[in-house]
Amino acid sequence: MELARPYLLFLGDVPDALAAKTALGIVDWRPEWCLGQHRLPGCAADAKIPDLTIAEAAKAGAKTMVVGVVNAGGVLPEHWIASIVAALEAGLDVATGLHVRLASIPAIAEAAAKHGRKLHDVRHTSERFATGKGTPRSGLRLLTVGTDCSVGKKYTALALEKEMRARGFDADFRATGQTGVFISGRGAAIDAVVADFISGAVEWLSPAAAPGHWDVVEGQGSLFHPSFAGVSLGLLHGAQPDAFVVCHEPTRTRMRGVPHALPTIREVIDLTVACGRLTNPAIAPVGIAINTQALDETEARRVCAEAEAFHGLPASDPVRFGVAPIVDRLQALFPAGRRK
């Protein structure tokens, strides 16, 4: 799935900022792709970019209207359909992360066909993948892995890409989840792929690259999560990472949604290396990203310092303290990493 840019972000009339978190995430990480926002009367979210009508956005060169909202049940409110049809009529593609498929709504399907526009359902995938081959590919790859779901793997990958680019690395974030796809403009929601093709889909989304190029691949789930470990393992094999960063939330005691205890960072490192060796014998941990949101600053610094000393790896909170120490390590371990 490849999304044409720049974007017009559709916020509808969502009741609060949380419902527009996809749009806000896109603006955070890709402000240069976002021409403006289109809101309906009563919208309580604000992405702090210019408000544009659909006609204005089309005139300014917008290529895709991204429905950057989540709502209960993933359905599309009736009164948003007119805006989507208007965008298609104005020559824009439309992309959503909602559960409902755009083409299942007759008025939208007809408008897309009539005006030759693309409809992207980022939560689904229409791409037909091959099975993974595990063949070594050129280029360098980093994968973020987790002690659990929802511990900051996407944020960490994006923060790493940003820091690496700032230092002149040739680095690209590779999306494996729906919000990530909007932010990278390309990718696939890997948990929506048919099981046989998990690693094959990752091979597709992180293809062979120049020898010093870095793909920073967004991780999913955890090898220790009883619901999603299969996805995480296929992703690990498909990404064949040279380096990985373990993401962790230190106050969590149970895995998300299940009663199982969290694994230790050490267990995650060991199992990631044991399994990852299959497609990259040189796989190595390069850092620990700790989500310290629930801790005060002193405690946060203590937790990071402790993890750093215990594991012999740079440990930091990407939001609070940045990822510079992890990129320092990456730079030291992979001097061949190409500068742009």
Q: Give contact residues for its own copies (rule: CB under 8 A).
A: 131-135, 190-196, 198-200, 223-224, 226-235, 237, 257-260, 271, 274-275, 278-279
Least distance in angstroms from the C-beta of 218 to its own copies: 15
- The smaller minimum CB distance to its own copies, of residues 227 and 331, is found at 227
Q: How far is the CB of 122 from its own copies (least distance, A)?
A: 15
Q: How far is the CB of 225 from its own copies (least distance, A)?
A: 8
Give the whole-angstrom CA distance, residue 193 versus residue 144.
19
* 258 vs 305 by CB, closer to its own copies: 258
Length of the chain: 340
Q: H/E element holding 333?
A: helix 324-333
Neighbours of 172 (CB within 10 A): 19
Of the pair 133, 339, the CB lying nearest its own copies is at 133
Question: What is the smallest separation between the CB atom of 257 and its own copies, expressed in angstroms?
Answer: 8
Which is closer to its own copies, CB of 44 or CB of 229?
229
| 160/271 with CB nearer its own copies | 271
Q: Which bin fits 174, alpha (ψ -120 to 50), beta or left (φ > 0)?
A: beta
Q: How far is 144 from 159, CA to CA, in rounded Å?
A: 11
DSSP 3-state of 95: strand
In this structure, are residues 26 and 49 in contact, taking their beta carbons and an 8 Å threshold? no
Q: Which amino acid is at 336?
A: A
By the 10 Å C-beta count (0-12 exposed, 13-18 middle, 19+ buried), 230 is classed as middle
Of 332, 311, 304, 30, which is closest to residue 180 (Cα–Cα)?
A: 30
Cβ closest to its own copies, residue 117 vs residue 248: 248
Angle (CA) 292 180 56, round 5°: 120
Report the alpha-carbon distance of residue 119 to residue 122 in Å, rounded.
Answer: 9
Least gap, CB of 108 to its own copies (angstroms): 24
Residue placing its CB nearer to its own copies in the complex, 112 or 193:
193
Minimal distance, residue 230 CB to its own copies, in Å: 3
- 10 Å CB burial of residue 41 (0-12, 13-18, 19+) is exposed
- Between 10 and 224, CB nearer to its own copies: 224
The token duo for 132 is 């993974």
Whether omega for the bond prior to residue 6 falls within 30 degrees of 0, making it cis, is yes
